[in-house]
């Protein structure tokens, strides 16, 4: 599938390197301005970007930014677009209140914008900008926009609380509560809850390739974590981290590695407070009551 979009590109004036590209849904409004451009450190232009195949790796910074936009616009879901090599295509950028510049230009920018009575702030130095500066998807709440990267996929009805974090090529597929960390390659199904401080191993964790996910109506408890997938109506108790190699005791007394249960539905993972053994019981989402639906009407 070929894809073409019109974007507004910022480049470093000295080196000509592409810093970022913004792809508005309405190409007619494809123009930005910022103080970094006004004082001559970066230049902006309109660019046409063509992608011949989303299954092939990105070939340029412009190509990479378009793919990240498609994810955040919900045009594609996580893991449906090839992002191999994306880190090498994105520059490390100082995302400042006066516009994006190369990190080595921050002190010069600070001096140049002083005459504009602008007090420069630098909220981030990173390869990925925050999503909300480029795409604001409908029907979501994000308490701290710095914690959601461009390339995150947030379904309508998603609430990302202050400590929630959603990386690129990851996110939610339906109404969800995100109070923990959703790492690259990970998806969370409808009516599921990633508890405060919880984490899910992604495709960048130790260079792993496994694509872990959480199904529908499941709960990953506060400060818990998983290195396996959860199916529908699963629960991991607060504070319990279940890796692929974790030994778990089944209801029949058999002990297996947790990876053999990856993706199965209707399971409760808990640690026996007397023996310390990790146990698995059969359960369903009614045991935790499900999401508070009133929290996920985000119109």
Q: What gap in Å lies between CA 129 and CA 148, rounded to an integer?
A: 9
Contact present, 70 and 81 (Cβ < 8 Å): yes
Question: Is 179 a residue of the active site?
Answer: yes
Q: Which of 179, 216, 233, 237 is catalytic?
A: 179
pLDDT in tens, the chain (299 residues): 789 999 999 999 999 999 999 999 887 778 899 999 999 999 999 999 999 999 999 999 999 999 999 999 999 999 999 999 999 999 999 999 999 999 999 999 999 999 999 999 999 999 999 999 999 999 999 999 999 999 999 999 999 999 999 999 999 999 999 999 999 999 999 999 999 999 999 876 555 567 899 999 999 999 999 999 999 999 999 999 999 999 999 999 999 999 999 999 999 999 999 999 999 999 865 565 666 666 666 66
pLDDT in tens, 73-83: 999 999 999 99
Q: What is the largest CA-CA distance in the chain?
A: 74
pLDDT on residue 298: 67
Please give the structure tokens belonging to residue 200.
């899910």
pTM tops 0.95, yes or no:
no
Spell 94-129 as b/e; 16+ CB within 10 A means b.
bbbebbbbbeebbeebbebbeeeeeebeeeeeebbb
pLDDT on residue 283: 81
- Report the SS3 class of residue 294: helix
DSSP string, 123-182: -EEESS-BGGGT---TT-EES-GGGBBTTEE--TTEEE-TT-EE-TTEEESSSEEE-SEE
pLDDT on residue 112: 97
């Amino acid at each position: 599938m070929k894809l073409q979009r019109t974007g507004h590109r910022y480049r470093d004036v000295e080196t000509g390197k592409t810093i970022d590209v913004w792809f508005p849904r309405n190409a007619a409004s494809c123009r930005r301005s910022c103080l970094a451009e006004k004082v001559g450190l970066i230049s902006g232009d309109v660019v046409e970007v063509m992608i011949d195949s989303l299954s092939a790796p990105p070939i340029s910074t412009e190509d990479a930014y378009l793919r990240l936009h498609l994810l955040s616009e919900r045009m594609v879901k996580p893991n449906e677009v090839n992002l191999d090599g994306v880190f090498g295509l994105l520059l490390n950028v100082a995302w400042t209140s006066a516009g994006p510049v190369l990190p080595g230009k921050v002190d010069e920018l600070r001096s140049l914008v002083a005459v504009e009575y602008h007090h420069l702030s630098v909220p981030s130095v990173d390869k990925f900008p925050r999503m909300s500066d480029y795409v604001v998807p409908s029907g979501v709440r994000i308490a701290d926009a710095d914690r959601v990267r461009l390339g995150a996929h947030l379904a309508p009805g998603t609430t990302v609380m202050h400590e929630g974090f959603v990386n690129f090529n990851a996110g939610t597929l339906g109404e969800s509560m995100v109070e923990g960390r959703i790492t690259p390659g990970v998806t969370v199904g409808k009516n599921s809850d990633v508890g405060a401080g919880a984490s899910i191993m992604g495709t960048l964790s130790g260079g792993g390739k496994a694509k872990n996910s959480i199904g529908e109506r499941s709960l990953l408890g506060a400060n818990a974590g998983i290195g396996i997938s959860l199916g529908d109506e699963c629960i991991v108790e607060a504070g319990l981290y279940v890796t692929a190699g974790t030994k778990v005791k089944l209801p029949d007394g058999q002990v297996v590695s947790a990876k053999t249960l990856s993706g199965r539905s209707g399971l409760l993972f808990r640690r026996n407070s007397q023996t310390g053994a990790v146990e698995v019981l059969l359960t369903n989402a009614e045991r935790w009551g499900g999401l508070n639906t009133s929290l996920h009407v985000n119109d």
